[in-house]
């Protein structure tokens, strides 16, 4: 029996360790994608794009290990929630990587256009906020602190407000100078990708809360009241 319990703990710890490594890689990809935009760094953008496959492989490995653990060990209660949470969190991290890759692809195009410094700075500020949110929720995951996860969940509206402001700013530039439309359109995609990364950070906070407490967050997630006119799928 002791041997079985030790083997079970080793498998569960291996999943947790892999999830931690995946979180670190996802966080780095998001941060580097923003640097690629602000520094017009083609090499860094290409590096982010190339690293995405590692995140995909990690997600598949975590899912494989979790399914095997469930099938062979039949975890219950806290351990079952922890195992299922690992699958869900890895999926959200993989999506963060995909969005970082999309930002990096935009960086390659933006690097060839004329600099739009004020807008780039706005994107940089939003990027720093989103990166901080992702780091905070990953720290909460590592330390298993529910309060830190709740703080990320409660601050979701701040990312939305940044996106709303950038959206209006970009529209103003495009209406004022048609030559800016192409560059602004790419930056709009970047801003939307950042907003989605913020949503994934909040998703992870919700998953972590349920994993630790066994209670779902039933309150409505704090959101900005601004609605994009027909741009919800940007």
Q: Answer whether 72's CB lies under 8 Å from 5's CB.
A: no
Which secondary-structure segment (H or E) carries 199?
Answer: helix 181-213
Question: Is the model more confident about 167 or about 7?
Answer: 167
Query: What's 49's domain CATH number?
Result: 1.20.58.220
Total domains present in the chain: 1
Q: Say how far apart CA 73 and CA 80 lie, in whole Å.
A: 10
Kindly state whether residue 34 falls inside one of the protein's structural domains: yes
Owning domain of residue 88: 2-213
Instruction: Say what the pLDDT of residue 167 is.
Output: 93
Kindly state whether residue 45 falls inside one of the protein's structural domains: yes
Kindly state whether residue 6 falls inside one of the protein's structural domains: yes
Kindly state whether residue 100 falls inside one of the protein's structural domains: yes
Q: What is the pTM of this model?
A: 0.88
Kindly state whether residue 137 falls inside one of the protein's structural domains: yes
Kindly state whether residue 230 falls inside one of the protein's structural domains: no
Q: Give yes or no for residue 168 having a pLDDT over 60.
A: yes
The average pLDDT across 82-92 equals 95
Q: Say how far apart CA 138 and CA 131 lie, in whole Å.
A: 11
Cβ contacts of residue 17 below 8 Å, gap of 6+? none
Kindly state whether residue 166 falls inside one of the protein's structural domains: yes
Instruction: Say what the pLDDT of residue 232 is.
Output: 37
Task: Give per-residue pLDDT as tens, 41-83.
Answer: 999 999 999 999 999 999 999 999 999 998 887 877 788 899 9
The average pLDDT across 110-127 equals 86
Q: Give yes or no for residue 159 having a pLDDT over 50.
A: yes
Kindly state whether residue 231 falls inside one of the protein's structural domains: no
Q: Say how far apart CA 21 and CA 13 lie, in whole Å.
A: 12
């Amino acid at each position: 029996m002791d041997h079985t319990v030790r083997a079970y703990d080793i498998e569960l710890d291996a999943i947790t360790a892999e999830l931690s490594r995946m979180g670190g890689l996802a966080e780095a990809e998001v941060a580097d994608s923003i640097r690629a935009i602000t520094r017009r760094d083609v090499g860094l953008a290409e590096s982010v794009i190339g690293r995405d496959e590692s995140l995909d492989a990690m997600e598949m490995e975590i899912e494989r290990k979790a399914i095997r653990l469930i099938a062979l060990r039949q975890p219950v209660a806290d351990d079952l929630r922890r195992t299922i949470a690992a699958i869900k969190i890895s999926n959200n991290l993989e999506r963060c990587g995909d969005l970082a890759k999309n930002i990096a692809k935009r960086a390659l195009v933006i690097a060839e256009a004329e600099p739009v410094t004020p807008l780039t700075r706005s994107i940089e500020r939003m990027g720093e906020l989103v990166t901080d949110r992702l780091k905070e929720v990953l720290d909460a995951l590592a330390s298993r602190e529910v309060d830190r996860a709740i703080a990320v969940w409660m601050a979701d509206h701040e990312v939305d407000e940044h996106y709303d402001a950038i959206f209006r700013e970009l529209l103003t530039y495009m209406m004022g100078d048609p030559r800016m439309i192409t560059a602004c359109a790419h930056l709009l995609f970047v801003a939307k990708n950042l907003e989605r990364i913020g949503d994934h950070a909040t998703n992870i906070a919700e998953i972590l809360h349920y994993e630790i407490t066994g209670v779902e967050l039933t309150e409505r997630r704090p959101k900005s009241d601004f609605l994009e006119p027909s741009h919800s799928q940007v």
